[in-house]
Structure 1
Amino acid sequence: MVPNYLQHMIDNEAARDDVSKPFGGRKPANIPAPNITHFELARTLERVNRRFAAFMQSEMTRRGVEEIGHAHLMLLLAIGDDEISVTQLMERGPYAGTNLSYYLKQLGESGYIERNALQRDRRAARIKLSEKGKELCADMTAIAANCHKIVADSPDNIRNLEITFKTLDRIEQTWASAAIFGPRGE
């Protein structure tokens, strides 16, 4: 169930958009769209990520999960139903080796993951979620799905989310390529 305060915030935002902006929040065809810089886009993405992190953290706290934070949850979600190595896990997200080792140690001590050492090299291990980790991921995934229903409440909004995702994915690939090969045209 989506908390009432979240629904209230979304309802108020929609009402504010319709009333306080000229043309009900829509731009007439003859006014050009603002030029959005990559700096503005990066700041917006950062804010969205922080707000999502704060929301997930508050939901975890409501469920009595206080020994780990949002970053740990994202790591658990990256592991998912798989049994994977640390190297494979690093490929799934933006994890630095030392941070990842520290997070995995905390998750193991808190009972959210199980570490199974390999027979041929006891230093290497495969990691998987414990039952406690699976339950937390299921709870948080259900909460996120309920929030998604609020945002994706119409075919137009679903289409906009798909376009947004594809655009962000393309921008990410462009930035990654530019970091390695330099910007195009140079």
Structure 2
Amino acid sequence: MKASYLETIALIERLHRQCMDVVKNELDRQGVRDLNAVQAMILFNLGEAELTVGELTQRGYYLGSNVSYNVKKMVEHGYLKQERSPHDKRATHLRCSDKGLEVCRQLDALFEAHAGDLGSNGLDDKNISAANDALHRLEGFWAAARLSVRPSYTSAA
């Protein structure tokens, strides 16, 4: 079980990197040079919604990056609009600009094409759903493990 578990951890890391490479390649094909893959995925996940930076972070749209830095860069390059909350001056609301929504549309088309091509690789909705189910259970396991204090398994020398 340990070998399979470690293989899963390594595979998750590789898949994430490969996905970011695919997104970056699409940005390059579209001539988008002022946006990185993580920023593009933040835009994609934000879509038509309006969220605060805190909400972006809570929802996991930051993908392990520095949200404030990425938001600042996307605002500077015109992909995001940032406005102070009328009710809480400490909070700022984010939404995609037209330029940001265009990136969302490009990525949506890419992912739609990928979804259509999965069958040629022996993957159907049932396979993907089973993989997602296993990953959601692993996510829950890690969330619980993060919150619990476990004794050290190393022996004293």
TM-score range, shorter chain: 0.7 to 0.9
User: Identity rate of aligned residues, in percent?
Assistant: 27
SS at match of 2:72: helix
Larger radius of gyration: 1
SS at match of 1:116: strand
Structure 2 counterparts to residues 50-65 of structure 1, below 5 A: 50-65=17-32
SS at match of 1:37: helix
Provide the residue aligned with 1:107 in structure 2: 74
Q: Take 1:154 and 1:74, find their aligned partners in 2: how far apart are those partners? A: 24
Structure 2 counterparts to residues 1-186 of structure 1, below 5 A: 36-93=3-60, 95=62, 99-152=66-119, 157-182=124-149
CA shift, 1:70, in A, is: 0.5
SS at match of 2:34: coil
| 1:147 partner letter | H
What is the root-mean-square deviation in Å for CA atoms of aligned residues? 2.6
TM-score w.r.t. the length of structure 2 is 0.85
SS at match of 2:140: helix
Number of aligned positions between the proteins: 151
Q: Take 1:168 and 1:97, find their aligned partners in 2: how far apart are those partners? A: 17
SS at match of 2:66: helix
Contact 1:83 1:128 in 2 (8 A): yes
- Structure 2 residue runs without a partner (length 5+): 151-157
